[in-house]
Structure 1
Amino acid sequence: MKINWEGVMPAVTTKFTAEGQLDLVMFEKNIKAQIDAGVNGIILGGTLGEASTLTKEEKEVLITNTLRIVDGKIPVIVNIAEQTTTEAITLAKRAEELGVNGLMLLPPMRYKATDYETVVYFKEIAQSTSLPIMIYNNPVDYKIEVTLDMFEELLKLDNIQAVKESTRDISNVTRIRNRFGDRLKVLCGVDTLALESLVAGADGWVAGLVVAYPAETVAIYKLVKAGKVDEAIAIYRWFMPLLELDISPQLVQNIKLAEVATGLGTENVRAPRLPLQGKERERVLSIIDFAMKNRPVLPAYKSI
């Protein structure tokens, strides 16, 4: 399946039972809700998916189940965030064998690689697979920035096709477009900058709160792309306090509480993460409760 690298692509959470096992029943319910809302792809194994806590076997279970659920309707993309180049290549090859449609690559983890080392890392993974690739550029959280000059070198490989743009610099969307045209697709990776990025010309949105609010997320994207920005802004303003739950070290716990509110998940996380406690839990729940009481009526966005 060809990936167009556009639209809304949820970075989905991994569902766990109270005993800490994969909750495939709730996982399937959430994936089906994403598909019903009109998302353009599913991204597995990101930070929100608690990938660092998953075993190789669990990752494969999630991949095979997602492929079964989506049944070819939308692409399935697997995140690569391994400790070594060898491990990253192994996972990339295995993902391709299992039938995934694309990869998202983080820079080297636990080591602040040089620009040269980062480019070589990405290129060696890309050369090990025929799958299309989106580079995750998040210097705020991962301390490595993929600069435009680095992309100049990376784009010599045809299967490096997109960037999850999370530098927090909106003007980077324009810089990328000016330098690379449509050769490098741009997807916003920061929920609180999504509408602004789309207006600036981003092709899509790798979203977090979408896992709890898929329809609202897709509606914003569709309205912006249809030129109905005022309608999109009205939903976005309602959404913003929720979207801010994504820019926190406890984003997983925050967003899983939102999934509970909409019936699309549980708050079970895997240690060392623990459910929110005390005043912080009360604060997050109050944000979610206010949003649920004031949830907007959406236009018929699917027909736009």
Structure 2
Amino acid sequence: MVQWEGVMPAVTTKFTADDQLDLVMFEKNIRAQLEAGVHGIILGGTLGEASTLTREEKEVLIKTSLSIVEGQVPVIINIAEQSTSDAIAVAQHAEAVGAEGLMLLPPMRYKATDFETVTYFKAIANSTSLPIMIYNNPVDYKIEVTLEMFDALTECENIQAIKESTRDITNIIRLKNRFGDRFKVFTGVDTLGLESLVIGADGWVAGLVCAYPAETVAIYELVKAGKIEEAMKIYSWFIPLLELDISPQLVQNIKLAEVATGIGTEHVRAPRLPLHGAERARVIGVIDKAMQNRPTLPDYKNLRTIA
């Protein structure tokens, strides 16, 4: 059973120089996430370069993650398919190979109506027993899941959480006012992480956590313990790095940050290419400055968390 709370990294997929899965570096990163205290692992999102992965590679990543985490945290797979039948097939296959939850995007490429989107979500939810997080990101994916649409989705008991990425953090309050604890709400925008937690988000589906797991979890734990000022000190340092997540090249950016912290490589899968020229220099400059001023963290793992 997934406890929908805490920090859940949308992990990157590690590749070798010859474009194979780099399971050695993948394991090193996942173990760093676990050591930092993350609360779940999400595979196959945008950061995971899911659109370039084969079904076989996704299966390898699920099974490898399950072997590494050994039940410490749930392993969740993202679903972003072109058709309802494909999405159902991926969901059922993920359940069969051991995934413990799903993160679900609206239909890709086709801009579905509200009714079509709700029907799509219900069809997938009814095809599996796995708990589901709905990913609401109209900025990038052009479909907003409205409060009325979530009303219709309450009949699916396994739809249990929302990744809220509208960029309007007050939507967290609207969701909480409307649904109480029926849906757990996660912020999905790194640069709104602390603010979202302060106003009531249950968790954070994070990106820069891939390179900086301890700093991300520390912010979450400090906020939940009411230590906002301490959390702000880390967050203020973190913001220039977090801004690397809100870019079309977020994968390349975050992989460069993983190189800096020793838990990743910058290998990406074409058509993505490593950053070059002035933009590469700019991103490395942001990372280098942050590394020179990396904060000393408090003993965040032993804080008493408040509800």
TM-score by length of 2: 0.98
| Deviation digits for residues 74-104 of structure 1 (CA, Å, limit 9, x no counterpart) | 0000000011111100010011011111000
**How many pairs are equivalent?**
303
List, as ranges, runs of 4+ consecutive aligned residues in structure 1 with deviation greater than 6 Å.
Answer: none
Partners of 1:252 and 1:66 in 2: how far apart?
20
The corresponding residue for 1:68 is 67
Partners of 2:154 and 2:232 in 1: how far apart?
34
Partners of 2:154 and 2:18 in 1: how far apart?
44
The corresponding residue for 2:238 is 239
Amino acid at match of 2:279: E
Partners of 2:204 and 2:126 in 1: how far apart?
26
The corresponding residue for 1:182 is 181
Partners of 1:87 and 1:119 in 2: how far apart?
16
Q: Secondary structure at the match of 1:110?
A: coil
The corresponding residue for 1:156 is 155
The corresponding residue for 2:200 is 201
Shift of 1:47: 0.2
Shift of 1:194: 0.6
Amino acid at match of 2:167: R
Partners of 2:118 and 2:301 in 1: how far apart?
39
The corresponding residue for 2:214 is 215
Amino acid at match of 1:136: Y
| Deviation digits for residues 80-134 of structure 1 (CA, Å, limit 9, x no counterpart) | 0011111100010011011111000000001000000000000000000000000
1:114 aligns with 2:87: no
Q: How do residues 282-293 of structure 1 correspond to structure 2 at under 5 angstroms?
A: 282-293=281-292
Amino acid at match of 1:13: T
Q: Quote the RMSD (CA, aligned, Å).
A: 0.4
The corresponding residue for 2:2 is 3
Partners of 2:37 and 2:154 in 1: how far apart?
30
The corresponding residue for 1:140 is 139
1:249 aligns with 2:228: no
Sequence identity (%): 76
The corresponding residue for 1:266 is 265
Partners of 1:4 and 1:69 in 2: how far apart?
19
Shift of 1:295: 0.1
Q: Secondary structure at the match of 2:135?
A: strand
Q: Secondary structure at the match of 1:162?
A: strand
Amino acid at match of 1:259: E
Shift of 1:155: 1.1
1:57 aligns with 2:60: no
Q: Secondary structure at the match of 1:276?
A: coil
TM-score by length of 1: 0.99
Q: Secondary structure at the match of 1:145?
A: coil
Amino acid at match of 2:283: V
The corresponding residue for 1:275 is 274
Amino acid at match of 2:227: K
Amino acid at match of 1:292: M
The corresponding residue for 1:172 is 171
Q: How do residues 40-55 of structure 1 correspond to structure 2 at under 5 angstroms?
A: 40-55=39-54
Q: Secondary structure at the match of 1:164?
A: strand
Q: Provide structure 1 residue ranges, at least 5 long, that are not aligned to the other structure.
A: none
Q: Secondary structure at the match of 1:186?
A: strand
Partners of 2:183 and 2:31 in 1: how far apart?
29
Q: Secondary structure at the match of 1:205?
A: strand
Q: Secondary structure at the match of 2:78?
A: strand
Amino acid at match of 1:45: G
Amino acid at match of 2:299: A
Q: Secondary structure at the match of 1:43?
A: strand
Amino acid at match of 1:269: V
Q: Secondary structure at the match of 1:120?
A: helix
Shift of 1:232: 0.2
Q: Secondary structure at the match of 1:195?
A: helix
Amino acid at match of 2:240: P
